[in-house]
Amino acid sequence: MKAELANRTVAALKDAGINFVSYMPETRLSEILPVMKVDGSFTLVPVASEAEAVGIAAGAALGGKRAAVYMEGTGLFVSTYNLLTIGERYGVPILLLIAYVGSFEDQRNSYLFSHYGNKTKGILETLGIQYLTVASANELETRIKDAVRMMHALKLPVALLFTGEFTE
């Protein structure tokens, strides 16, 4: 991810009120983490599994934080149980920042990722999680703002699937 996009992503998350991020770093969006660290307005929590990232973000959200989880698309499959039991069934607003690996627009797509990518939206739809795809820098700030607004309105997890320009 280009530095300019990382800066804009973090600025948009901050503008939308996000102040807590549990994360399992990966290769496409990881540049947002040093930007968040320097910014200083985010509580950043590294995890051992995307499953616990969801639970930790849920606890933070119930405690008054505006919480996000940053993960690779593969982590969605790891955390499906937690998204269902805590996110969807309990009803907790969490923003999912997902590197949409294996999607059509994923500039690093390969046989390693495509079998995840072509099932990612299906998993989200089965879980009842609303999502927006962010493939172009032009739509970045708007999509983040829209997703956060929907997350608070539904009191449910909402996902942003980053691909295209964000995977270069």
Contacting positions for another protein (CB under 8 A): 17, 20, 22, 43, 45-49, 51-67, 81-82, 85-86, 89-93, 152-153, 155
- Which residue has tokens 């616990």? 52
Q: Which residues pair with 133 in a beta bridge?
A: 161
Q: Which residues pair with 72 in a beta bridge?
A: 99
Dist. CA 129–CA 54, nearest whole Å: 13
For another protein, the closer of residues 3 and 62 by Cβ is: 62
For another protein, the closer of residues 49 and 130 by Cβ is: 49
For another protein, the closer of residues 6 and 56 by Cβ is: 56
**Nearest Cα to 23, choosing from 31, 101, 89?**
31
Closest approach, Cβ 79 to another protein, in A, equals: 10
Dist. CA 11–CA 83, nearest whole Å: 26
Closest approach, Cβ 121 to another protein, in A, equals: 25
Closest approach, Cβ 114 to another protein, in A, equals: 27
